[in-house]
């Protein structure tokens, strides 16, 4: 169990914090207001080598690990939760399944450009009738000669339509439940693959989210990821890691809100002194700081387990559930400390408050995290 991160991680934190402060912060309000995807920021993150932090250098990555990746998402989200999730969805959802289940050819063709930041990745699992019940996938992939013919649609897909490469889940054998689902690598630009208009969201508005529409898309057989029928397991294993990223995003948003409130409370004078001197305000900070510290330990320990190739599914679910729950509480307290000023557009804390909400919903709602944690604590009896 790690209580203090080593110098290597703190150097990365410093570099990303500086980048976030100088490149992201000045435009964060504009990105949020205009629902604008930060192309230049993503390009720069690629140039810094941050788009493939946990992947091997031979595949275009930085050759680091899950903890370094979590710190990167945390630091970006401390300034802009939308930029944090662009990195998170790209790294742990769009790239991880190719790294973990891809053939050597697939890794060379798809992982290398993703991890080096040349291309952006996304993950297509959710459907209108298959949200929490991911096994209810209805998109189909029917084998026809050298191609699978893909039909259906995926909703709420982070990084669409900006992403170049999509890991998509579809039914190859109907009627046998989760064992009939397979995973595919699908490229933007293929005939029959189109997008819905990007959603107009409450928060994380600098990230794009859109629907994927597949109308008889011809997916070459060699783009099947893993084996036929292995798709659900690939999706679940991918989400285990993804949840560390979302937990880190939630932590970063909460940390940003906490710091903004601390600063504000030192400047705001009421009753003849800065409100930071009032016990009612100090108690709020005591609670907020304790929650942040607990979330950070949960996240870093889950990341450490993953980096050490030990089981981490339960710990990742706990980290995601806790960090996102406290992100709502901390951003709420931070806004409360700002009083009426915090309710105004243009105040960072107003954006953090809106950005936090999604973290209790995506990559498995917090109700599903409890299902996952419960399944580790009390395994189902074997039938
Ligand atoms: N790793 C490997 N295998 C796993 C697994 C895991 N973590 N979890 C389950 N499996 C396997 C099981 O062992 C089982 O295999 P067998 O049949 O061989 O025993 C199989 O998968 C089916 O498992 P369950 O019976 O537990 O499946 P279920 O249908 O009851 O569903 C669930 C379980 C946990 C509720 C799952 O549906 C789930 O995680 N739902 C939430 C989906 C989700 O998180 N969606 C997020 C979308 S992505 C997103 O949000 C991205 C974004 O925007 C940023």
3-state secondary structure the chain: CCCCCCHHHHHHHHHHHHHHHHHHHHHHHHHHHHCCCCHHHHHHHHHCCCCCCCCCHHHCCCCCCHHHHHHHHHHHHCCCHHHHHHHHHHHHHHHHHHHHHCCHHHHHHHHHHHHCCCCCEEEECCECCECCCHHHCCCEEEEECCEEEEEEEEEEEECCCCCCEEEEEEECCCCCHHHHEEEEEEECCCCCEEECCCCCCCCCCCCCEEEEEEEEEEEEHHHEECCCCCHHHHHHHHHHHHHHHHHHHHHHHHHHHHHHHHHHHHHCEECCEEHHHCHHHHHHHHHHHHHHHHHHHHHHHHHHHHHCCCCCHHHHHHHHHHHHHHHHHHHHHHHHHHHHHHHCCCCHHHHHHHHHHHHHCCCCCHHHHHHHHHHHHCCCCCC
Most informative mutation of 210, 233, 244, 249 for ligand 1 (most atoms within 8 A of CB): 233
pLDDT digits (tens, 9 = 90+) for 194-235: 999 999 999 999 999 999 999 999 999 999 999 999 999 999
pLDDT digits (tens, 9 = 90+) for 46-98: 999 999 999 999 999 999 999 999 999 999 999 999 999 999 999 999 999 99
pLDDT band at 304 (very low <50, low <70, confident <90, very high): very high
Average pLDDT in the chain:
97
pLDDT for residue 382 is more than 90: no
- Residue with CA closest to ligand 1 atom 15: 233
pLDDT digits (tens, 9 = 90+) for 89-122: 999 999 999 999 999 999 999 999 999 999 999 9
Q: Is the dihedral of CA 125, 128, 133, 136 positive or negative?
A: negative
> Residues with Cβ within 6 A of ligand 1?
85, 89, 93, 123, 125-126, 132-135, 156, 158, 178, 232-233, 236-237, 239-240, 313, 362-364, 368, 371-372
- Residue with CA closest to ligand 1 atom 16: 179
Which pLDDT does position 245 carry in this prediction?
Answer: 98
367 noted as active-site residue = no
Give the distance (Å) from ligand 1 centre to CA of residue 196.
26
Burial of residue 200 (CB within 10 Å: 0-12, 13-18, 19+) is exposed
Confidence (pTM): 0.97
- Residue with CA closest to ligand 1 atom 14: 233
pLDDT for residue 383 is more than 90: no
pLDDT band at 3 (very low <50, low <70, confident <90, very high): confident
Q: Point out the catalytic residue in the list 75, 99, 211, 363.
A: 363
% of the chain at pLDDT higher than 90: 98
pLDDT digits (tens, 9 = 90+) for 252-261: 999 999 999 9
Confirm if 249 and 363 have CB atoms less than 8 A apart: no
Angle (nearest 5°) at CA 68 between 298 and 313: 40
CA distances from residue 180 to 138, 173, 176, 193, 317 in whole angstroms, order as listed = 11, 4, 5, 22, 25
Give the distance (Å) from ligand 1 centre to CA of residue 237.
8
Q: Give the atom of ligand 1 at the shortest distance from the alpha carbon of 375.
A: 26
- Residue with CA closest to ligand 1 atom 28: 135
Please compute the mean of the pLDDT values over residues 175-203 and round it to a whole number.
98
Which pLDDT does position 176 carry in this prediction?
Answer: 97
Please compute the mean of the pLDDT values over residues 141-170 and round it to a whole number.
98
Q: Give the atom of ligand 1 at the shortest distance from the alpha carbon of 134.
A: 37
Give the distance (Å) from ligand 1 centre to CA of residue 76.
28
Please compute the mean of the pLDDT values over residues 32-40 and round it to a whole number.
98
pLDDT band at 1 (very low <50, low <70, confident <90, very high): low
Q: Give the atom of ligand 1 at the shortest distance from the alpha carbon of 88.
A: 54
Most informative mutation of 169, 232, 302, 382 for ligand 1 (most atoms within 8 A of CB): 232
Give the distance (Å) from ligand 1 centre to CA of residue 274.
50
Which pLDDT does position 236 carry in this prediction?
Answer: 98
pLDDT band at 41 (very low <50, low <70, confident <90, very high): very high
Which pLDDT does position 67 carry in this prediction?
Answer: 98
Which pLDDT does position 380 carry in this prediction?
Answer: 86
């Amino acid at each position: 169990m790690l209580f203090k991160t080593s110098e290597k991680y703190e150097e990365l934190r410093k570099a990303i914090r500086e980048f976030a402060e100088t490149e992201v912060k000045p435009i964060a309000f504009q990105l949020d207001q205009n629902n604008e995807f930060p192309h230049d920021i993503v390009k720069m993150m690629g140039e810094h080598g941050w788009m493939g932090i946990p992947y091997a250098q031979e595949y275009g990555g930085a050759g680091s690990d899950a903890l370094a990746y979590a710190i990167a998402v945390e630091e970006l989200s401390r300034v802009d939760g939308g930029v944090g999730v662009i990195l998170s969805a790209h790294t742990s959802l769009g790239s991880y399944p190719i790294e973990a289940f891809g053939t050597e050819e697939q890794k060379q063709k798809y992982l290398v450009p993703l991890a080096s930041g040349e291309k952006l990745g996304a993950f297509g699992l959710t459907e209108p009738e298959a949200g929490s019940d991911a096994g209810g996938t209805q998109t189909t992939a029917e084998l026809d000669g050298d191609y699978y013919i893909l039909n259906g649609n995926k909703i709420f897909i982070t990084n669409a339509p900006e992403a170049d490469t999509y890991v998509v889940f579809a039914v190859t054998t109907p009627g046998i439940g989760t064992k009939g689902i397979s995973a595919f690598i699908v490229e933007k630009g293929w005939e029959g693959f189109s997008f819905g208009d990007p959603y107009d969201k409450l928060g994380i508005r600098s990230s794009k989210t859109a629907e994927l529409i597949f109308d008889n898309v011809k997916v070459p057989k060699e783009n099947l990821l893993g084996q036929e029928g292995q798709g659900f397991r690939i999706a679940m294993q991918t989400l285990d890691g993804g949840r560390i990223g979302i937990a880190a995003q939630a932590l970063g948003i909460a940390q940003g809100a906490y710091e903004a409130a601390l600063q504000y409370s030192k400047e705001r004078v009421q009753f003849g002194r800065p409100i930071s001197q009032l016990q009612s305000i100090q108690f709020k900070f005591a609670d907020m700081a304790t929650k942040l510290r607990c979330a950070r330990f949960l996240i870093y320990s889950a990341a450490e387990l993953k980096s050490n190739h030990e089981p981490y599914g339960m710990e990742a679910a706990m980290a995601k559930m806790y960090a996102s729950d406290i992100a709502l509480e901390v951003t709420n307290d931070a806004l409360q400390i700002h009083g009426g000023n915090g309710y105004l557009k243009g105040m960072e804390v107003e954006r953090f408050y809106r950005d936090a909400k999604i973290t209790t919903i995506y990559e498995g709602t917090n109700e599903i995290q409890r299902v996952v944690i419960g399944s580790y604590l009390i395994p189902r009896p074997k039938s």
